Amino acid sequence: MRVKISAGSFMEYSTSGQRGRIAIVSEQKAVYLSEHFLGQGFYEPVRDAMRRAANSATPELALDAAIDRANRRGQAQAFVEIKNGYLPWLASRRATGVPVVSSTWSCGDLVLTIKPHLGLRLRDGSTMAVLAYLKSQPLTQESANVGLRLLEYTIGTTLPEATPIVLDARRGRAFSMSRRTNTAKLDALIIAEAAGYVAHWGATA
């Protein structure tokens, strides 16, 4: 049984702790197996707006449009909080959007689609590949490291020579990988979490 999900979904699972993991996988499984899946994610409209904002002279209008069209419970408030955290961070980077490419990474029976939500070029010419974390629970460095490592696995394809970043968008806080991070232990953790995800997927209805 091969299970294919996004890097963001896997990061949500791996950073959630032991409680509620079955519920997370069950909810994700229902979404991924739905015939109406494409474009129907809770955060998809605001992710699209974040990309548009990176190349707009009036980035706030891109986020406002997503807020105005929000029609699911809690969606408008979530989008407002993302706007309030993301736009000041984006302004401080003084960056413009650049295209990114999707890639995949496999571990056992788990296949992850890895595509940065944002590609940004800074004024000095350097680039950033950004995976956006949009949940209400604040992100920690330890949790961000999972997403950062996934970006590192495929950065040569998705946006070569870019710096991987995980952005806690609601709080406008960006995480990068510390040089002190033990990547061997992090890789082992990701392998274990991948096996756990597949097991939980098979155990849910």
User: What 3-state DSSP class applies to 167?
Assistant: strand
What's the pLDDT at 205?
64
Two structure tokens written together for 54: 């990176």
Residue ranges in the chain whose pLDDT is less than 50: none
> pLDDT per residue over 48-65, tens digit each?
999 999 999 999 999 999
This prediction has a pTM of: 0.91
- Distance CA(135)–CA(2), nearest Å, equals 27
CB atoms inside a 10 Å sphere around CB 204: 14
3-state secondary structure of 168: strand
The span from the CA of 175 to the CA of 196, in Å, is: 25
Which pLDDT value is given to residue 37? 54
Tokens of residue 3, six digits: 């299970």
Q: In angstroms, what CA-CA distances link 122 with 54, 56, 66?
A: 11, 15, 25
Which strand (E) or helix (H) includes residue 40? none
> Mind listing the pLDDT tens digit for each residue in 73-93?
999 999 999 999 999 999 999
